[in-house]
Amino acid sequence: MKTIIVGGGIMGLSTAWALAKSGQDVELFEQGPLPNPLASSMDEHRLIRHPYGDHTGYARLIDDAFVAWDELWRDLGQRLFAATGTLALTGNGADWALRSAASLASIERPMTRLSLAELPLRFPMLDSKGVEHAFWIDTGGVLFAQDITAALARYLSHQSNVRLHSYTPIRAVDLELGQAVTETGTVHTADTVVVAAGAWVGRLMPASAGKLVPSRQIVIYFRLPDDQRAAWSKGPMLIDKTGEVGLYLVPPMEGRGMKVGDHEFSRSGDPDGSREATPGEMKPLLDRCASLLRGFEQWRIDRLKVCFYTVTDDERFVVEKQGAKGWVMSPCSGHGFKFGALMGKELARTIVSERDPGQHARWAAGLEGDTK
């Protein structure tokens, strides 16, 4: 049995990894270099955390996600993850941290509530002004995303049943016939075609474009004084939803950068367009950093990164069978990386075992065991 995969981000590569392990032949096509710096999966880090707002279904999958990463670390011979614990803050009437704590309590993974007096004592680098609720959980951390993606591409290049084609854009797919057509018109055929094209999916699958909307997102890397960097390099990872911005902060674990980003979706932009960030795009984030982070006036912007991902209305993943031989694999809405190894393993299992595709789609959408 052979599978064609379109896209060499974490989803395409993880699916190739799991299919190859189960003895399947795989041919993967990537439009750019492999890995591609423009892919959503290519940034220094991505977060993995249990707190998930009302999405209890995804919170439940986090333990499985860790098991899948552990399996990948064994195959890669390296563990590309640093544990930090997760601090969730809410203010300005927003209640994401409260809803996360309630959801996690319902699945017996309680978070610890921190009083507002305790917060700056435990985390002196934070200012608690404007924070209304604070919760802590020991689990969670930083996945070294671009190192994982690059290591997976290297690993796959050594597998005899995998063929990787970089700089080979696919211009059309036929999911009934199991075909992928390159720009030069070469037709490749397989038993299954998986489209894991990230923010470019609407180009290949115009019918998906209304549902999987590309969203341009900004992240800011900072240089900070050595003493502050040393303090932050022990964590925590921080998710702060104040109602104005949805800020997340990634601490500089194991020598990586110190990064801040905004989880509010822009739902706009073109992944092939300009990747320059504008001052207007950065302002809400910088304003929130100034009120939340002590010593922020000494931080300097090191570099900006503009990244694209797809967003659905309900922020649930789309992993759906289409046609007799196709799958559209878009587990994203800005929170997919943490499930990369798990999504790849499970899609490979469904392809190989012919598990019910509808059940697979519900599982990937986080609907199994969801309390909503």
Q: Would you give the binding string for ligand FAD spanning residues 122-161, x where CB under 6 A is met?
A: ----------------------------------------
Tell the smallest beta-carbon distance from residue 129 to ligand FAD (Å): 25
CB of 153 to ligand FAD, least distance (A): 10
Binding window for ligand FAD (CB under 6 A); candidates: 35-43, 55-63, 86-94, 107-115: 35-43
Considering the complex, state which of residue 101 and residue 193 has its C-beta at the smaller distance from ligand FAD: 193
In angstroms, how far is CA 71 from the centroid of its own chain? 18
Residue 88 interacts with ligand FAD (CB under 6 A): yes or no: no
Q: Does 47 bind ligand FAD (CB under 6 A)?
A: yes
* 29 part of the interface to ligand FAD, by CB under 6 A: yes
- Work out whether 284 is an interface residue with ligand FAD (CB under 6 A): no
CA angle 11, 160, 33 (to 5 degrees): 45
**Phi and psi torsions of 219, nearest 5°:** -125, 150
Rounded CA separation 298/327 (Å):
48
Check if the beta carbon of residue 127 is closer than 8 Å to that of residue 290: no
**Cα 12 from chain centre:** 13
Tell me how far, at minimum, the Cβ of 329 lies from ligand FAD, in Å: 7
Does 32 engage in binding with ligand FAD (CB under 6 A)? yes
309 binds ligand FAD (CB under 6 A): yes
**Strand residue runs (E) in the chain:** 2-6, 25-29, 46-48, 81-83, 86-91, 112-114, 131-137, 141-143, 162-165, 170-174, 179-182, 187-189, 192-195, 213-223, 237-241, 246-250, 258-262, 300-311, 318-322, 326-330
For the CB of residue 79, give the shortest distance to ligand FAD in the complex, in Å: 17
DSSP 3-state of 25: strand
Within residues 181-220, the interface with ligand FAD by CB under 6 A covers: 196-200, 204, 217, 219
Does 50 participate in binding ligand FAD (rule CB under 6 A)?
no
Is the Cβ–Cβ distance between 225 and 295 less than 8 Å? yes
Site for ligand FAD in 321-360 (CB under 6 A): 332, 334-338
- Alpha carbon 35 to chain centroid, angstroms: 15
Here's the x/- map for ligand FAD, 165-184, by CB under 6 A: it reads as: ----xx--------------
Query: Can you read off the two tokens belonging to residue 226?
Result: 């050595």
**CA 5 – CA 25 distance, rounded (Å):** 11
**Contact positions vs ligand FAD (CB under 6 A):** 6-12, 29-32, 36, 39-41, 46-47, 169-170, 196-200, 204, 217, 219, 261, 307, 309, 332, 334-338
